[in-house]
Amino acid sequence: MSGSTVLRVAAVQMQSQDNVAANLKACESSVAEAASRGAKFVVLPENFAYFGASSGKRSNAESLDGPAGPIRRALVDLAACHGVVLLAGGWPELSTDSKRPFNTATVYAPNGEILANYRKLHLFDVTLPSGNRLQESSAMTAGQDVVCCDVLGVRVGLSICYDLRFPELYRKLVDRGCEVICVPSAFTKETGQDHWHTLLRARAIEAQCWVIAANQWGSHPTDKTTYGHSLIIDPWGAIKAEVESGTGVIVADLDMQLLDKVRKSLPSLRHRRIVC
């Protein structure tokens, strides 16, 4: 545990489109606002740099090896310029399959160092109640690894959007010492209006972790609509900050003394009898 550590964090809610330059400019404005409000760790949503057709994901995909492309350069510059640790919530990273990049979340330190790189494990292959069928696996390659890292003295676990529906992932993150769980997302309006708050609060309560969920909001190319309601939730399941609709930035102080108190007063993590 991190004792008396208090970490001020921010979650950014965006309405990204299929114009990378415009999206990165919006990121710059939001990260600047978060930093001006004292945030030291800033979480961008899934698809922050590009939200559009599969062909665009392929053409805008970048590698973590070799010279940086526009997305990577912007992320390094944002972290350095504003002196924050930046979680780039989901961007197209080149994989061994040229037609299907990874959906990747990368954590950048202010000095440009990559602290962690997580490739989305669970791909969204779902037919929505409206009949709209989404097949993420046709355009993206699934990752293989559970990933966490240390951010300013706090252990942070990484996930992306659809991962939220798989509690076993978060149990593994807790087993690795995580105190904060990040869920950058582009959660659909159809599913979000019924499940978003419930699932996020459940993950916070069962993992006894702080949760930072930065979501997309509104209409996007290819007839996609996202739910918004970016949230920061404490380890008791209480919502500490929320952007309901529109774009915006929320900021909250993550008090690790509260996390210690919750885990000591209700020691469910120590009471587990079934271990996978």
The residue annotated as part of the active site, out of 120, 178, 182, 189, is 120
Distance separating alpha carbons of residues 78 and 115, to the nearest angstrom: 15
**Does residue 161 have an active-site annotation?**
yes
User: Which residues fall within 8 angstroms of residue 29, CB to CB, at 6 or more apart?
Assistant: none
Please, is 175 exposed, middle or buried when counting C-beta atoms within 10 Å of its C-beta (0-12, 13-18, 19+)?
A: middle
Residue 162 in 3-state DSSP?
Answer: helix
Identify residue 13 by its one-letter amino acid code.
Answer: Q
Radius of gyration of the chain (CA): 17
The residue behind tokens 């659809």 is: 162
Distance separating alpha carbons of residues 79 and 36, to the nearest angstrom: 13
**Does residue 209 have an active-site annotation?**
no
Contact call for residues 94 and 62 (beta carbons, < 8 A): yes
**Does residue 120 have an active-site annotation?**
yes
CA 193 to chain CA mean position, Å: 19
- Please give the structure tokens belonging to residue 1: 């545990």
The residue annotated as part of the active site, out of 27, 46, 179, 242, is 46
The residue annotated as part of the active site, out of 27, 161, 178, 209, is 161
DSSP H or E stretch at residue 34: helix 20-36
Beta carbons within 10 angstroms of residue 266's beta carbon: 14
Name the residues annotated as catalytic. 46, 120, 161
